[in-house]
């Protein structure tokens, strides 16, 4: 199996998604008992990091499909983002 940069980025993003989701899940159980401001901030920060990791996984999958010629429906947001990043 050939390990390349895309595979490594996706693996790290997937691990990040799991880690940040577990942080949110564990802290949300504490919110049911007693809510505090620090719990809400913690969940918010981990939610943003989870969303970022999920976005990276989606973007790398999109790039793979686009480069392999298997992309059926181009996503305009990703196309604009890739053109601004110079990856178009």
pLDDT band at 88 (very low <50, low <70, confident <90, very high): low
pTM: predicted TM-score of the whole model, two decimal places: 0.80
Enter the tokens of residue 36: 């505090």
Please tell me what DSSP assigns to residue 86: T
The pLDDT of residue 2 is 62
Under a CB-based contact definition with an 8 Å cutoff, are residues 15 and 48 in contact?
no
- At 27, is the secondary structure helix, strand, or coil? helix
Please tell me what DSSP assigns to residue 87: -
Integer Cα distance of 13 and 54 in angstroms: 7
Report the 10 Å Cβ neighbour count for 35.
10
Under a CB-based contact definition with an 8 Å cutoff, are residues 23 and 49 in contact?
no
Chain mean pLDDT for the chain: 88
Integer Cα distance of 77 and 87 in angstroms: 13
| pLDDT tens by residue, 40-61 | 889 899 999 999 999 999 999 9
């Amino acid at each position: 199996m050939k390990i390349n940069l895309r595979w490594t980025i996706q693996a790290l993003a997937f691990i990040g998604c799991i880690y940040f989701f577990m942080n949110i899940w564990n802290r949300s159980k504490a919110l049911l008992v007693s809510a505090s401001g620090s719990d809400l901030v913690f969940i918010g920060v981990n939610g943003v990091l989870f969303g970022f990791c999920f976005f990276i996984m989606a973007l790398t999958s999109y790039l793979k499909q686009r480069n392999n010629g298997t992309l059926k429906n181009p996503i305009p947001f990703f196309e604009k983002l890739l053109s601004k990043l110079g990856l178009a």
